Amino acid sequence: GGGGGLAGGGGTTGGGAFGIFIVGSTAAPIVTDNSVFRGGGGTGGVGGAGGEGGTGGAGALGGTTGSPVTFCTDVAGRGANGGDGGHGSGGGGGCGGSSFGIFTSGLGSPNYCQAAAMNTFSGGGGGAGGPGGYSIINPGGAGGNGALLDCSFQ
């Protein structure tokens, strides 16, 4: 039979939105009394479509008469063609991008989202997950939506 179709590729992740982004600092800077408007995370990409199955191969020629004893006096008929391969599944949709008011990396857990820091956050939203890729039999799943967070400490 023909080969199965290849699965579609996964969609790309939507871009993130950052109000305040702190990375590479040896000590946590002071971040107090800010009004942070979060942006919108990007939408996830569409998953790739699944590939179509390959065409089945041609049947083989029939056998010849028996040897050394002849049971049949003529050549056998040609075999049937192989069946087509199955369709590949669609690729999964990309996840939506996240939106962060304050994002830090390598600083532990500063107090930026505690009441004492007096930072306020509004607006924004996580990006929508992208739809899964098309396939006749097994379409890809949709990507998850992005997160909406006041603070994220990595």
Distances in whole angstroms, Cα of residue 129 to Cα of each of 19, 39, 45, 82: 21, 16, 8, 40
pLDDT for 33 equals 97
pLDDT for 78 equals 76
User: Kind of pairing, strands 99-105 and 148-153?
Assistant: parallel
Cα separation, 27 vs 50, in Å, equals 49
Extract the residue ranges of the chain whose pLDDT is less than 70. 63-75
Whether the CB-CB separation of 93 and 143 falls below 8 Å is answered with yes
* Threshold 0.85, pTM exceeds: no
Number of H helices, E strands in the chain: 0, 5
Residue found under tokens 């996830």:
44
Segment 77-122, tens digit of pLDDT: 777 888 888 989 999 999 999 999 999 999 989 999 999 999 999 9
